[in-house]
Amino acid sequence: MKKRIIPSILLQQGTQACLSQNFNPWRTVGTLTQSLRLHTRRSCDELIILNPGIASISDLTDRFFNIIINEVDIPIAYAGGIRSSLDAQLIINKGFDKVFITSAFIDDHKILASISETLGSQSIGVSLPYVNINQEYFVWDYRLKKPTSSSLLHSLHDAISYGAGEIMLHSVHHDGQLSGFDRNLDSILEQVSSPIPILLAGGFSSPADFRIALSNPRINAAVASSLFSLTEHTPKTIRNHCLSNNILMRNTFF
């Protein structure tokens, strides 16, 4: 399988794109439209919209969906405010290809099963923010701004058994730091027996980071945000770096 480079766009107040540090929004970098144009023009493989501050998807406007449809001709996923399979259906029907859930999964794993049965596992992912406390990994709850009592490995297994098609592991401590990704996850990843696609997010700071992460056979995609806004690196330059290091990446003709 080809490895993927996925810019994430964190939304605030509707359609403002911003960067976060340790899961706290800290700097606006433009609008959603500008970000989508920038990333697609720079030849990213996919996009993820993160909208954790939204209470319900009924708060999403037609303008928001029109921006997505008008600007994007590559795969795009959405996360934020999804509480049911009906919510997920609406998001996909309006132009997204996949959805990710976090809070709904933390509250009730059956919501994940319901979405997976309705849309198929390939359309539903689980995003698991996590923190490392004394060498133990725990899922982190964005709403409470603190770790849950659920171990990351246990939640990962639950996500797989309840029908997730992809899992995004997002290090809260590394988020937005541009200090390198979490290289200590091997012990967790080695215990995942299912060959489910795993996305890694948080801290990517250089093409070498992507090369090292994507060289791991258990990691299918690297998700980053600050790097693409605050440095000269683009998905295309990073992909070329990975290709030159014999990592299978997407080819384009046009």
CA distance 168 to 70: 26
Contact between 186 and other proteins per CB under 8 A: no
Measured from the CB atom, the residue of 41 and 146 that comes closer to other proteins is 41
CB of 67 to other proteins, least distance (A): 11
Measured from the CB atom, the residue of 149 and 254 that comes closer to other proteins is 254
- CA angle 187/158/82 to nearest 5° reads 115
Contact between 250 and other proteins per CB under 8 A: yes
Tokens at 151, concatenated: 């171990």
Among 112, 119, 152, 159, binds other proteins (CB under 8 A): 119
* Burial class of 61 by CB neighbour count within 10 A (0 to 12, 13 to 18, 19+): exposed
Site string for other proteins, 54-93 (x = CB under 8 A): -----------x--xxx-xxxx-------------x--xx
CA distance 150 to 161: 16
Distances (CA, A) of 131 to 46, 54, 119, 179, 201: 26, 23, 30, 16, 13
Measured from the CB atom, the residue of 95 and 180 that comes closer to other proteins is 95
Contact between 246 and other proteins per CB under 8 A: no
Find the helix or strand (DSSP H, E) in which 155 lies: helix 152-161
Contact between 253 and other proteins per CB under 8 A: yes
Tokens at 75, concatenated: 């795969």
Measured from the CB atom, the residue of 81 and 125 that comes closer to other proteins is 125
Residue 120 · residue 165 · CB < 8 Å? yes
Residues that bind other proteins (CB under 8 A): 1-4, 40, 45, 65, 68-70, 72-75, 89, 92-98, 117-123, 165-166, 195-197, 217, 220-221, 250-254
